[in-house]
Structure 1
Amino acid sequence: MNESIRQYWNKIQAGWLKFSKKQKITLIVIIAVIAISLTTLIHYFSRTEYALAFTDLPENDAAAITEYLDASKTSYVLSEDGKSISVPRSKVAMVKINVVDQGLNKNGAVGYESLKESTFGTTDREFDVKELSMMQGELEKLLNSLDSVQESRVMITLPKSSVFLTDSEMEKSSAAVILKLRPNFSLDQQEVDTMYKLVSMSVKNLPMENITISEASGEPLPYSKVDGALNTATAAAAIQFQIRKQFERDIQSNVTRILNELFPEGRVVPIVIASLNFDKKSSEENLVKPVVDDKGIAISIQEIQENYSGEGSPAGGVAGTGETDVPTYPSDTATTGKTTSEKVQSTINNEVNRIHNVIEKSPYFVNDLTISVGIEPPGGQPLDENLKISIQKLLKGVVSASLANTELVLTDAQLEAKVTVFENNAIKSTAADTGNKINWLLLGGIGALAVLLAGAAGFWLSRRRKNQIQEMDAAPTVIAYPTIDMDAESSETQVRKQLEMLAKKKPEEFVNLLRTWLVDE
């Protein structure tokens, strides 16, 4: 055995000595490259490829999962922040299933599954504490299941049970929630209200006003319908903005549809700016109006008539001595005659129309409207002035109809100031550029198609020529002789001229033609 090894070694040495120095260096380099390549390939194909199995793990869950992986002797890679765990790609699914089965990934919350670990002899106080903790954990899981929430913490305060009657306010629960949102996520008011409802429905006797939700940065997330005047105003402003934009879009689409009947599509660009009044006003009127005959209906009539007649008595007193008499003024000593008096009094109460009006002005009416339209005339020509005036009249009609509910009476000059029609050169240049691009593309496509057709035709002609040559080589040679129409021209002079021409230009064919005639005869 040793002798054979020695012989092989001697042969190797003898062969090695035959190589020159350059050949030896080349051989060593080749062997080294092959060895390094094999080592790299073996390492690449035999290395363990890891894939992310868990991300954004709380510290408790990360500790529990790594402990399980160590116990199951599964290799893993823990990220620097301790929140992500990678396992071999082939074991990702199995590890996830086992972790969920053992309840290790709790998202930092302990829910009702901890009841399995309860021991015999638990006191009521301990059970109440555990029940509260489990309720908080279930709420945290519920909130963490939302796409925008990365982590949540919930603190619930339950009222103490008592056998005595207590104030109803003391029997209500309260809850505080802190949310940590995922990166690049934000909550709108509807999502916040949904969270309030989820928390309120999950805890007994928990009204909305006893719930506080805030972000991890400390920014509150109030409920829109509880002490949320600011939120309500913000939501109303957003709704008003949407209504205004929708109104502008409707006017714009209507104007575009009308003008597209006159111009090709894409040559009209309307710009609409509207101002809407969202004030809701209510007023009351108490009106008193007469009936049709302006007199009314007599509901009560009272007439009084007095008549008096009698003899008069002489006036008494001393002239000029009374308290009210003028001194030295003579008094009336004459007697009065017969006295007669009559008094007629009539009172008529007429009923009138009493009108009580309660007027509520509906919001969402147009306060102001401005329409500007850019038009590209067809054919690159200037916009016709008569057509421009017609379009302005049309737009003024739209503005006038939209402002019909306003109390202002707009003149024709005011309406004209709210309407603008102009030539849009930007559309023209854009259309020209687009047309040039389309022409170039069209020409390029036609050229490519022509090249393909020419190539196909050349290939077909080449194949056809080759086939014809092969058929001619395979088939016997058949000579076609030109025929002379003897019936068309019976003149001997014409026949002689044709024969002379054939003899001069193609003597061989002329000889063959003579032979053919001789054979036929």
Structure 2
Amino acid sequence: MPQFLNDYLKNIKEKWSSLSKSQKIMFVVSSSIILLSVIVAIYITTRPHYVTIFSGLDPKEAAEIQNILSDQKIDSKAANGGTTILVRDKDVDRAKMAAAQAGYPKNSSITFEDALKLSSSMTATETDKRRTFIKLKESEIQQALKQMSDYIEDAVVNLSIPEDYTFALKSEAEKPTASVKLTLKKSLSSDQIEGIQRFVAASVEGLLPENVVIIDNKGNYLSDNSSDTTEGLSSKQLQLKIATKNEIEKKIKELLGSYVSSPEDVKVSVNLDMNFDMQKISETKYSPVLEDSGIVVSKKTTKEEAQSTNSSSSGVPGTDTNPTQNAPQYPITSQGGQSTYTKTDETVNYQNNEKKIETIKAPGTINYDKSSIAVVLYRYVTYTQEDFEKSEQAKNMSWAQFKLQNQNNKRSFLTDQKEVETIINLIKSATGIQNVTVEGYEIPTFVDKPQRQIPVDYIYVALAFLLLMVFAASVLIKASRSKSKTVELAGVGPLEISEGKPTAEEILHEAEKRKEPEVEEINVEEFGVSQYEKQIDKLLKEKPEIVAQLLRNWLNEDWE
């Protein structure tokens, strides 16, 4: 072992030996407290911190979300009876995105216990309590509709209750309304839809059935509250037009999402012209018959027979006729000067082939020539304070001035005409609408230099650690200031030693630490032999151990 290490360990042993029993106990306790504090601080600062991302879920839905997070290798925990999901604070964004891509949460609900807890909070205002009540009512209606499991797979209920409805005159107050979206397993009859309307209306005070709107998950309008046929038809036409516009906008956003950061950065405005007139087109086509095919309209057959006596035995008596193509001809025969002939004439009229076509155009067709589309693409350009401070512009202006100068600066990034034409052709091919306009702008965003913030947990740990250090220091100081008494040692002077029965080692150790100026030698002639003897005699009687130790030290020094 190296010499310096031996000296260091020897020094530690000497210091440890110099401590009293109480000081040793205090040192061990203080060291243990400090070590335990460090271990606790390391555990608190390094342990995973979980935060809530979804609450008030159905246990089945919570299990499905946990499976999705597990597939994405995101650590998660369930709490509150399987209705709440927690993930690590660093995985919050990833977890929400993964759940959203899978369509979760389908709908959030709140239990009566949650509502009671929120309402009884000291910080809850009347507005918060009112919103909690509405949320609870929505959850109750949703759960009731889901119990129709043969027809309804899922239900979402939104209530709009005016804030001043309770305090205003009912004739003048704005009426509450409700919207219900159903995911259906089977089609509902009109009686069932009306029953749902009345059930929802009866669940909310002041809500009328005609103010309850019901649609399915495909956007089909299920509740028809209009008694006027024309008004109902107009409402359906408007809904069809809105649904068609939304479908076109969605298609364009998905198509052009790759040109910018996401489909949400594509803004689409569709001016849709639709024809809601019902058209019935009748068409009749005629075609000639082929030879003897077809339907016989009329048929005429004429037959003639004659006999005569004539020396001439040839020829055809009578006038010439224009027989039909199929009329048979018979030669005239003569027998001994007597001649006979027979003529058959047949006329057949056929009906021409006739084809009738009736075309009914359903209302709601798009007039592509009269419709138009305008598309604006937004591309975000990020400026960071760190990059700005490294640029030449930082010499002429501050970061705040740079942001103020460029925050409203929108520049077009579609400067290539070929790129614009490519985008327009894509939209035309996807929608069939030929009148298309496209613009693209860059939107500046600014990222300030991150300010280092100490987490609250770290502050608490630091305070606790500081308090423990202060406590340990106070214990050590108190131990070092333990009661002591003064002992006069000849040739050294007064020594401070701990209270109790001192040992020779303690007295000698204290004497060695004292760096008093050298004691002048006793002048026997000045003080006299009797005085010197008295001092030695007193020391021998009171502290014989010290005298013995001093003699051993002197002998060792002389021997060396």
- Shorter-chain TM band: 0.3 to 0.5
Q: Larger RCO: Structure 1 or Structure 2 (Cα < 8 Å, ≥ 6 residues apart)?
A: 2
Tell me the TM-score normalized by structure 1. Answer: 0.33
Tell me the TM-score normalized by structure 2. Answer: 0.31
